[in-house]
Amino acid sequence: MPPESHDHPTQDHSTRAAPFRDRQGLTDLLHRELPALTGAQRVLALHVLAHLERVPFLSATDLAAAAGVSQSSVTRFAARLGFTRYPHFTTGVGEALLHDAPAHAPAERFEHAPPGSPHAAVLRGETLALQALGPLLDHPDFRRAASFLAAADHVVVAGFAAAAALAVHASLYLSRLRPGTGLHTSVDAALMTQAPHWTPRHAALLIAAPRPATDTVRFLGLLRAQGVPVVLVGDPASVAVLGAADVTLVVPVTLGPTTAVPAAMLTLVSLLVDAVALEQPERSRHALRRFEHLSAAGELFVQGAPRTGTHEQQEEAGP
- Tally of structural domains, the chain: 2
- DSSP secondary structure code for residue 302 in this structure: -
Q: Note the Cα 307 to chain centre separation in Å.
A: 32
In a shared domain, residues 215 and 280:
yes
Give, in order, the Cα–Cα distances in Å from 306 to each of 288, 291, 302, 312, 314: 19, 18, 10, 15, 10
Please report whether residue 187 resides in a domain. yes
- DSSP secondary structure code for residue 201 in this structure: T
In a shared domain, residues 94 and 179:
no
Report the candidate in 162, 212, 13, 204 with the shortest Cα–Cα distance to residue 95.
13
- The C-alpha atoms of residue 45 and residue 37 are separated, in whole angstroms, by 8
In a shared domain, residues 186 and 85:
no
Measured from the Cβ of residue 302, the count of other Cβ atoms closer than 10 Å reads: 6
Q: Which of 100, 115, 148 is the last residue of a domain?
A: 100
Q: Which pLDDT belongs to residue 35?
A: 82
Please report whether residue 311 resides in a domain. no
In a shared domain, residues 173 and 225:
yes
Interval 122-129 mean pLDDT: 83
Please report whether residue 319 resides in a domain. no
Q: Which pLDDT belongs to residue 61?
A: 92
In a shared domain, residues 217 and 283:
yes
Where residue 317 falls among pLDDT bands split at 50, 70, 90? very low
pLDDT > 90? residue 266: yes
Q: What is the pLDDT of residues 130-157, one digit of tens each?
A: 888 888 888 888 999 999 999 999 999 9
- Identify the CATH number of the domain in which residue 48 sits: 1.10.10.10
Residue 70 has phi, psi (to 5 degrees) of -85, 160
Please report whether residue 145 resides in a domain. yes
- The C-alpha atoms of residue 197 and residue 156 are separated, in whole angstroms, by 12
Q: Which pLDDT belongs to residue 131?
A: 84
Where residue 1 falls among pLDDT bands split at 50, 70, 90? very low
Q: Which pLDDT belongs to residue 315?
A: 45
Listed in sequence order, the residues at least 6 apart from 45 whose beta carbon sits closer than 8 Å to its beta carbon are 30, 33, 34, 37, 77
Where in the sequence is the domain holding 52, given as residue range(s)? 23-100
In a shared domain, residues 289 and 215:
yes
- Identify the CATH number of the domain in which residue 256 sits: 3.40.50.10490
Helices 60-67 and 71-80 pack at an angle, to 10 degrees, of 100
Sign, CA dihedral 221-222-228-231, equals: negative
- The C-alpha atoms of residue 262 and residue 253 are separated, in whole angstroms, by 5
pLDDT > 90? residue 236: no
In a shared domain, residues 150 and 290:
yes
pLDDT > 50? residue 38: yes
In a shared domain, residues 278 and 191:
yes
* Model pTM score: 0.70
Q: What pairing do the DSSP bridges indicate for beta strands 260-261 and 254-255?
A: antiparallel
Interval 19-31 mean pLDDT: 80
Cα dihedral angle (251, 50, 1, 74), rounded to 10 degrees?
A: -40
- The C-alpha atoms of residue 126 and residue 120 are separated, in whole angstroms, by 10
In a shared domain, residues 133 and 175:
yes
- Any bridge partners for residue 230, and if so which? 204
Asked if residue 277 lies in contact with residue 284, where contact means CB atoms within 8 angstroms, the answer is: yes
Report the candidate in 160, 129, 151 with the shortest Cα–Cα distance to residue 265.
129
